[in-house]
Structure 1
Amino acid sequence: MLNILSGLIGLLALLLMLPTIIPFLGWANWLIVPIALFGALVGVVSSRNGGRNFCLIVAALGIFRLFIGGGFI
């Protein structure tokens, strides 16, 4: 059950991350990456790894977007 919850949190973070592809909206990743990391934390408690891994990938995408945008672009 926690694996499904973790996957849903990761999906929510990914959907929120889609508009941040637009220039000057990358700052929103500062809010989205912690959501994905919380989903990964929920996934750690689960007996399966799928939701946790998905959340970590979403968080990595957000961190990469922050990196290439200088943290705010």
Structure 2
Amino acid sequence: MSAEIYDLRGLNCPLPVLRTAKRLAGMASGAILVVETTDPLAGLDIPAFCQQDGHQLISAETLDGGHRFTIVKG
């Protein structure tokens, strides 16, 4: 299954988590979403969101000026 890339760069807390939740809600279970963000708090918020909502965080990468998260919808 190919991953969808969701570009949330330039958005600040809480928008990356809210938009990630909304996008995942419209996806099938097992679908893969790659989220890219420049929000400095996303490094804490996205993993916490995944754990709370039952999604699997496959990877969390720190990039120049941001983060990239690979999430499998639970």
- Higher Cα Rg: structure 1 or 2? 1
Indicate whether the TM-score tops 0.5. Answer: no
Tell me: higher relative CO, structure 1 or 2? Use CA pairs within 8 A at least 6 residues apart: 1
